[in-house]
Amino acid sequence: MSSSLLDRDGLRERIAAELAAFLAERAAELAEISAELDPVATTIRSFVLNGGKRLRPAFGYWGWRGAGGTATSDAAVVRALAALELVHACALIHDDVMDGSATRRGTASVHEQFADLHRSSALAGSPTGFGRAAAILIGDLTLVWADEMLAASGLPFQAVERARPAYDAMRTEVMAGQFLDVLAQVQPSVSATRALRVARYKSAKYTVERPLHVGGLLHGCSVALLDCYSEYGIPVGEAFQLRDDLLGVYGDPGVTGKPAGDDLREGKRTALIALTLEYGGAADVALVERLLGDPLLDAAGVAALREAIETSGARRRVETLIAERLEQGVSALEVGHVEPEAAAMLAELAEMSTVRRA
Amino acid sequence: MSSSLLDRDGLRERIAAELAAFLAERAAELAEISAELDPVATTIRSFVLNGGKRLRPAFGYWGWRGAGGTATSDAAVVRALAALELVHACALIHDDVMDGSATRRGTASVHEQFADLHRSSALAGSPTGFGRAAAILIGDLTLVWADEMLAASGLPFQAVERARPAYDAMRTEVMAGQFLDVLAQVQPSVSATRALRVARYKSAKYTVERPLHVGGLLHGCSVALLDCYSEYGIPVGEAFQLRDDLLGVYGDPGVTGKPAGDDLREGKRTALIALTLEYGGAADVALVERLLGDPLLDAAGVAALREAIETSGARRRVETLIAERLEQGVSALEVGHVEPEAAAMLAELAEMSTVRRA
């Protein structure tokens, strides 16, 4: 994704500055309790500040601009929307514990960092257990801090109250979507329909629709605008997840921050895999059933799976699903409810977050 | 603890009714997303409604009464304080994942319930991993729902805003205290001082001081009253944790809801254990170092450890620490800042939550 697009209005820098200031206050609070909490504060700071495209605050911001918010507004709006990045930190940190993922954003995942700390400090007990416990607690902290950052953003309470139902729905939906995903991973087979429903809750509503709603409601907006954001956000968010599924299999590790084929090793039951099993020939299906989810899958295994997915036509089908959703989402902007500059930006964001990159 | 004391003003029933109504709304929200979320809603409901002494909402309520709130007030205060019970649900559910505890409140812990569901439904993959993932997500849900319940309690926003700093501090402190506890468990040795500092954050501030502050601030109260609540709450809360440590070793499983000696099997580094190692003879110390934390510890091992703790004098020392803290806390009420009926109640609550029960 073009970072310059997400930088418009100096947004990325403003979000990072607000997060840095807020986390510095929280670090001071932890330091007052005990110096032993230093690794907690340091880890949260580097996790939140050293990575992430800030997609959710960006959609929130353009949702707010689309409702009539101006680019020169005070920092409070950016601060309120930066809270979404802390919710996301929790989702990622806990997700890595649940999946047992060793890496995130090109570095060790939080639970691995604390397992390493355990080993290097020669502590007693299990490094894995210690790492997991630390990551669960750190995720919990970022989740409650998100809430604190939104409430203390400095926006009038009426604005926060207006946005709260969308914010609350977003949090419940992402946890629900994660649960449906966990459940999908343990089914004997998963249909593309089921995988798309997971994507809707875990990604589309969480990453695009609800952040737009939060931004729109912080400014104050009509129900018509909220509906328009849904008609844009859900298909675009699904397309975004489908692109992510493709990147998980075909992506460049330098771009994704994950080892090549990591989704295949984890055995993720994505729409891409479901379509491979649905439309692939007997040999391709047998190959997928044999290799998918093998934690020791090597480069040759990854290459074989990639080819099976390709020859089954699933990759092409997913590209079609993405293109359809992109068109559907962008056309929802044409009705004219969204302020023109924001509408143009949302069309660009949709294009860039779903474009072929691998 | 006498349940009738916690029932005064019909409090337990009112808290349960508010929680039941709120959770029914959340269950409906999940059902709209997918019928597959039924086990999530059902588990949260039974976890929250079938157990718990409601200590935190009770301290919150008497903090509010102590600031001048009246017993006949509307449901909004009870609703706001019942939110503390949802924060606590998260803390317990995640704590059981971190400790690998199989039981809670006399029944299977949440992660065990979902591991069992995995087995009985013959799902793919690891039952343990599935149970852990479900419990992490369920804890996250209760944590965000707590926040939602407080914000939507129906109290004037000014009241909620006044109480929010105490509520926020409470959440950060409990996570920080849990981290310090996890860290204490992996140290080669833990002093009684260190164990008491963990108890201060994980229990005293979280269970007593901050709920009192939240209740007082919801009503509107002076800084002098907040200070008084701290002077009462911290020693009483520490005494409460010290009693809990004794119950974890000597308690009746019918009362604690945990198998006898469970804390010994988990190898918890409590003040009781620290004092045993500090003051015990060589034979007692060697026994503790050999048996503590053995997950397969049998009844004879539990009995031997109990005896070593007893003969070291640690049990008696802990009883002394409890009595000192109880006296210190209750004497803080005598200054007269707390409304008389609430002050009498807080003195009784302190007595009952730290009294010898085993």
The model's pLDDT over B299-317, given as tens digits with 9 standing for 90+, comes to 999 999 999 999 999 999 9
- Rounded to whole angstroms, the Cα distance separating B82 from B146 reads 8
- Rounded to whole angstroms, the Cα distance separating A174 from A180 reads 10
- Rounded to whole angstroms, the Cα distance separating A153 from B264 reads 46
Residues of A in contact with B145 (CB under 8 A): 172
Tens of pLDDT, residue by residue over A184-226, are 989 888 899 999 999 999 999 999 999 999 999 999 999 999 9
- Rounded to whole angstroms, the Cα distance separating A246 from A240 reads 10
Residues of B in contact with A36 (CB under 8 A): 180, 183
Q: Among A135, A172, A358, A151, which Cα is nearest to A263's?
A: A358
User: Hey, of B144, B153, B167, B205, which one would you mutate to test binding to chain A, going by the most A CBs within 10 A of its CB?
Assistant: B144
Expressed in percent and rounded to 5, the helix, strand and coil fractions of chain B are: 80, 0, 20
A74: pLDDT strictly greater than 80: no
Helix (H, G, I), strand (E, B) or coil at B163: helix
Domain containing A308: what range?
A: 3-354
> CB count, 10 Å around CB of A339?
18
The answer, for A295 touching chain B at a CB cutoff of 8 Å, is no
Please report the pLDDT score of residue A357 as a whole number: 62
The predicted model gives A240-250 an average pLDDT of 93
Q: Among A145, A108, A140, which Cα is nearest to A27's?
A: A145
Which residues are bridge partners to A107 per DSSP? A104
Geometric angle at alpha carbon A76, from A75 and A77, rounded to 5°: 95
Residues of A in contact with B144 (CB under 8 A): 143, 147, 168, 171-172, 175
Distance of CA A151 to the CA centre of its chain: 22
Tens of pLDDT, residue by residue over A135-170, are 999 999 999 999 999 999 999 999 999 999 999 999
Closest CA of chain A from B175, distance in Å: 6
Tens of pLDDT, residue by residue over B65-80, are 999 998 766 789 999 9
The answer, for A234 touching chain B at a CB cutoff of 8 Å, is no
Please report the pLDDT score of residue B261 as a whole number: 85
Which helix H or strand E contains B244, and what residues bound it?
helix B223-250
Segment 17-76 of chain A within 8 Å of chain B by CB: 26, 29-30, 33-34, 36-37, 40
Tokens encoding A123: 């502590």
Tokens encoding B348: 């009784």
Tens of pLDDT, residue by residue over B44-63, are 999 999 878 899 999 999 99
Find the largest Cα–Cα distance for chain B. Answer: 62
Q: For chain A, how many structural domains are there in total? A: 1
Q: Residue A73: which pLDDT band, with cuts at 50, 70 and 90?
A: low
CB A105 within 8 A of CB A50: yes
Please report the pLDDT score of residue B56 as a whole number: 96
A358: pLDDT strictly greater than 80: no
Of residues B300 and B2, the one with the higher pLDDT is B300
Q: Which chain B residue's Cα is nearest to A166? A: B148
Closest Cβ–Cβ partner in A98, A143, A187 for B144: A143
Residues of B in contact with A143 (CB under 8 A): 140, 143-144
Residues of B in contact with A209 (CB under 8 A): none
Distances (CA, A) of A296 to A246, A264, A277, A293, B289: 21, 10, 22, 9, 39
Of residues B271 and A4, the one with the higher pLDDT is B271
CB A308 within 8 A of CB A280: yes
CB B239 within 8 A of CB B354: yes
Closest Cβ–Cβ partner in A26, A143, A186 for B118: A186
CB contact under 8 A, B144 and A188: no
Please report the pLDDT score of residue A261 as a whole number: 85
Residues of B in contact with A201 (CB under 8 A): 33
Q: Residue A267: which pLDDT band, with cuts at 50, 70 and 90?
A: confident
CB contact under 8 A, A33 and B133: no
DSSP alpha helices (H): ranges in B50-156?
55-66, 75-99, 110-120, 127-151
Please report the pLDDT score of residue A71 as a whole number: 78
Tokens encoding B219: 């009503």
The answer, for A247 touching chain B at a CB cutoff of 8 Å, is no
- Rounded to whole angstroms, the Cα distance separating B330 from B198 reads 22
Nearest 5°: phi and psi at B64? -75, -45
Q: Residue B127: which pLDDT band, with cuts at 50, 70 and 90?
A: very high
Tens of pLDDT, residue by residue over B211-250, are 999 999 999 999 999 999 999 999 999 999 999 999 999 9
Q: Which chain A residue's Cα is nearest to B294? A: A125
CATH of the domain at B123: 1.10.600.10
Tokens encoding B327: 């006296």
The answer, for B159 touching chain A at a CB cutoff of 8 Å, is no
Of residues A291 and A262, the one with the higher pLDDT is A291
Question: Which amino acid appears at position A97 of this protein?
Answer: V
Which residues are bridge partners to A103 per DSSP? A108
Tens of pLDDT, residue by residue over A282-337, are 999 999 999 998 989 999 999 999 999 999 999 999 999 999 999 999 999 998 89
Q: Please tell me the pTM assigned to this model.
A: 0.94
Q: Residue B200: which pLDDT band, with cuts at 50, 70 and 90?
A: very high
Tens of pLDDT, residue by residue over A12-61, are 999 999 999 999 999 999 999 999 999 999 999 999 998 788 999 999 99
Tokens encoding A277: 């099993």
CA dihedral B189, B246, B107, B30 (to 10 degrees): -70
The answer, for B124 touching chain A at a CB cutoff of 8 Å, is yes
Of residues B196 and B71, the one with the higher pLDDT is B196
Which residues fall within 8 angstroms of residue A289, CB to CB, at 6 or more apart? Answer: A277
Q: Residue B8: which pLDDT band, with cuts at 50, 70 and 90?
A: confident
- Rounded to whole angstroms, the Cα distance separating B73 from A75 reads 39
B295: pLDDT strictly greater than 90: no
The answer, for B97 touching chain A at a CB cutoff of 8 Å, is yes
- Rounded to whole angstroms, the Cα distance separating A251 from A357 reads 8
